[in-house]
A and B are shown apart, each in its own frame.
Chain A
Amino acid sequence: MTERVFMTMNFRTILYTLKQGLVGVWRNRMMSLASIGSVTSTLIILGIILVLVLNVNNLAVMLEQEFDEIEIFIAEDATKEQIENLNDKLENINGISEIRYKSKEEALKDMQEQWDDKAYLLEDLEENPFPDSLIIRIDNIEESEKIVKSVKNMEGIEDIKYFRDIIEKMVNISTLVRNGGLVIIGILVLISIFIISNTIKITVAARKKEINIMKYVGATNGFIRGPFIVEGILLGIIGSIVSIFIIEFSYKYLFEVASKQLYVFSNVYMIPYYNLFGDVVLIFMSIGIGIGIIGSVVSLRRFLKV
């Protein structure tokens, strides 16, 4: 007897459970749609935040590798003496591997080369807007902060541009976006769970008589709950699939537009969409299914007490 009760997880039972789950989704289509919509929106917002944070972090790493330089812009009215002082000071600092003087003419020429076919925009300039500068290559990017600090109050400096500074800002913003995003996603996940649990409550109510008979005949709790769990999982999966398509297609589109249109912002700095695909599918499916299961379990806890 005991054996019979617990050996019921056979092929027919699985088929029955899946079928009833599908019937549940279909029976109250409107609520199912609302549930799917809420999972989809949650995951799309997660996707946007994910894409943003991953790209900013990726960009930060790229920049860090490429720009181990500090550029000191020299003031228009700086005296020769001031520039020499500056040079002397820099030569005495440890961790600097190279100091190079870049005249304003060189700066303009570099820019023209970089802009390539849009360089004509620079031809109409009445005077060269670039200042002279000293470009310092450093051994260890971690040191840049210290080096900047030790020279920044010297005379004759217009501005100092160093990428460590920008990178840190980027990482800070990305951390902020991530933390804020997690809070928003947390709230959205709760809303999705709430909507799914209400959807399933409606199915439970529609099948109340059936469930009642099942209990009296001796159906196991798992057998009774199975279809509702499946219903929740289905809602979650459909929601994730929709959001995966939306995120993947929009990102692919953005990626292609960025590669074509933005010259300077070359596609090296954006994570290629095919690199994101696997992770996004995995993360979205897990969250979608998780929301579905929790949503149904929440709705069943009270309703199906034997």
Chain B
Amino acid sequence: MIHLQNVVKKYKKGVVALNDINIDIEKGDFVFLVGSSGAGKSTLIKLLMKEINPDKGKIIFNDKDITEVSNRGIPEIRRSIGIVFQEFRLLENKTAYENVAFAMEIVGSTPKEIRRQVPNALGLVGLSDKADSFPSQLSGGEQQRVSIARAIVNRPTVLIADEPTGNLDPDTAWEIMGILKDISRRGTTVLMATHAKDIVDIMKKRVIALSKGRVIKDDRKGVYDYEF
């Protein structure tokens, strides 16, 4: 469902962030995207979100080459992707419930749909009892769970997480991994960028390793390569 073909992305100042990338991800896959800082993980995610465009190559998403899609088509692409960031990105003046509902409001969902879906999503991440708390009243792990609920509330086919455990202690990180696993089990494709070795090694999922903008390994049930 996601196919990158010979993708090259250069930034100004001659930085080649991604070099001749070929990746195929099928529906329902759980994929770790690993590599040290600066390897090109976030760049790859930005390409999938069409935040930036590649200099070369094709990016097929749901049978459509999104490099050919005009800016008007961007919302449609993003509505089938849920995204989670390292730093949560919640709105401080909204409660957990309102933060999740916001994602539905801006795509034009009806109040009825919102009333049904938001508690569902909060339940899925185990935060039903904190619906009325503001982000400042929640722990880091809880905030990240709100942001996951927001990412899945519109029922995307793909969930992308860019270092979602980067700001969390190990125990909390494992809670988040449990939630991502649940989401994956329900049929959602999950792509998670990380450089947390222990998590990758224990999860035994597909691992795509990037180094200096190139894919250096693509293993089903892989481990984080200790060499780098």
Contacts and interface: CB of A to CB of B under 8 A. Distances in A.
B10 interface: no
A209 B71 contact: no
Interface residues of B, number: 24
Contacts of B107: 4-5, 8, 217-219
B134 interface: no
B5 interface: no
Contacts of A306: 51, 71, 74
Interface in B90-109: 91, 102-103, 105-108
Interface in A229-272: none
Given A213-B102, A219-B107, A221-B71, A2 B49 contact: no
Q: Which of B79, B83, B111 has the most CB of A within 10 A?
A: B79
A5 B89 contact: no
A306 B49 CA distance: 10
B78 A215 contact: yes
Interface string A2-19: 101101101011001000
B22 interface: no
A273 interface: no
Contacts of B103: 213, 217
A220 interface: yes
A220 B75 contact: yes
B106 A5 contact: no
Contacts of A7: 108
Contact of A213 (B71, B75, B80, B91): B91
A7 B109 CA distance: 11
A210 interface: yes
B71 A217 contact: no
Contacts of A1: 76, 79-80
B53 to A, nearest CB: 12
Contact of A209 (B74, B78, B89, B150): B89
Interface string B99-138: 0001101111011000000000000000000000000000
Contacts of A5: 75-76, 79, 107
A97 interface: no
B154 interface: yes
Interface in A170-227: 209-210, 212-221, 223
A8 B76 CA distance: 12
A2 B108 CA distance: 13
B19 to A, nearest CB: 26
Contacts of B49: 216
B76 A218 contact: yes
Q: Which of A8, A213, A214 has the most CB of B within 10 A?
A: A213
Contacts of A221: 71-72, 75
A169 to B, nearest CB: 58
Contact of A16 (B76, B89, B105): B105
Contacts of A10: 108
Interface string B55-95: 00000000000000001101111111001000001010000
Nearest to A305: B71
B106 A219 contact: yes
B106 A2 contact: no
Interface string B31-60: 000000000000000000101000000000
A217 B154 contact: yes
Contacts of A13: 108
B209 to A, nearest CB: 26
A170 B174 CA distance: 86
A1 B121 CA distance: 21
Contact of A218 (B78, B102, B111, B150): B78
Contacts of B72: 221
Contact of B91 (A2, A209, A218, A220): A209
A214 B106 contact: yes
B21 to A, nearest CB: 22
Contact of A223 (B77, B91, B106, B110): B106
14 contacts: A5-B75, A5-B79, A7-B108, A8-B107, A12-B110, A13-B108, A212-B89, A213-B91, A216-B49, A217-B79, A217-B154, A218-B76, A218-B79, A218-B106
Top-7 shortest CB links A-B: A8-B108, A218-B78, A218-B79, A219-B106, A218-B75, A217-B103, A220-B75
Given A209-B89, A215-B78, 6 more contacts: A7-B108, A8-B107, A10-B108, A12-B111, A210-B91, A213-B102
Interface of B: 49, 51, 71-72, 74-80, 83, 89, 91, 102-103, 105-108, 110-111, 150, 154
